[in-house]
Amino acid sequence: MRIIGLVVVAILVLAAGLFVWKRPSAEQREQAAAAARGLRNAVLSRELLQMAGSKPGIRAVVYDWHFGAGTASLVAFDDGSTSLYLIPGGGFIGAGAHENVRRAAEAFRNEAAKVVGQFHVVTEYPLPTSGYSAFYVVTDSSTLSSGELRTSDLNVQGHPLAALDRLGQEVIAEVRKSR
């Protein structure tokens, strides 16, 4: 539950630069991008989890999906909290409060638990390049990655992470619906 409190603080930080009604300045856009990257990195480096206390198992699953203007980083925590950080800036924090998002995120996390054996431990978390995606599984002791995957390959039936990709996209769709 402490993660939710931290997320509320993050919302306030993001709100300062992300949700302006007029066209944001270049400085505001960079501040928003920095905030989104910072939140993503705090999850992947386990900084947020350390503040929330230790628990066994998978604590968060992150799906980085490169799209035309940047990267969407979906974060589904073990307590049901779900957020979508948009880089170069913006996002949705606390979407897991909506039951439709919560159910979709749970299915996404469950699928990640099934395929985590295909992931490897990493200490760096680069954003995927154009045409690529990446998945991360975060535990108290390590962050594991699928590595960068060609997004088009994930759409091929029979790819070992195709279901994880599909479920991640379903969570993103539910987050967008819940706005």
* pLDDT value of position 64: 97
Question: Nearest Cα to 41, choosing from 2, 85, 82, 90?
Answer: 85
Q: Mapping DSSP to helix (H, G, I), strand (E, B) and coil, where does residue 60 land?
A: strand
Q: What is the DSSP string of 6-59?
A: HHHHHHHHHHHHH--SSPPPHHHHHHHHHHHHHHHHHHHTTHHHHHH---SSEE
CA 172 to chain centre: 10
Share of the chain above pLDDT 70, in %: 87
Number of domains in the chain: 1
For residue range 82-129, list pLDDT tens digits in order. 999 988 877 888 888 889 999 999 999 999 999 999 999 999 999 999
* Residues sharing a CB contact under 8 Å with residue 76, sequence separation 6 or more, in sequence order: 60, 61, 62, 82, 96, 105, 106, 108, 109, 171
* pLDDT value of position 8: 39
Domain containing residue 155: 2-177
* pLDDT value of position 17: 42
* pLDDT value of position 130: 94
128 and 58 Cβ atoms separated by less than 8 Å: no
φ, ψ of residue 83 to 5 degrees: the values are: -140, 155
Residue ranges in the chain modelled with pLDDT below 50: 1-2, 4-21
Tokens 């949700």 belong to which residue?
Answer: 19
88 and 67 Cβ atoms separated by less than 8 Å: no
Cβ atoms within 10 Å, residue 105:
29
* pLDDT value of position 5: 46
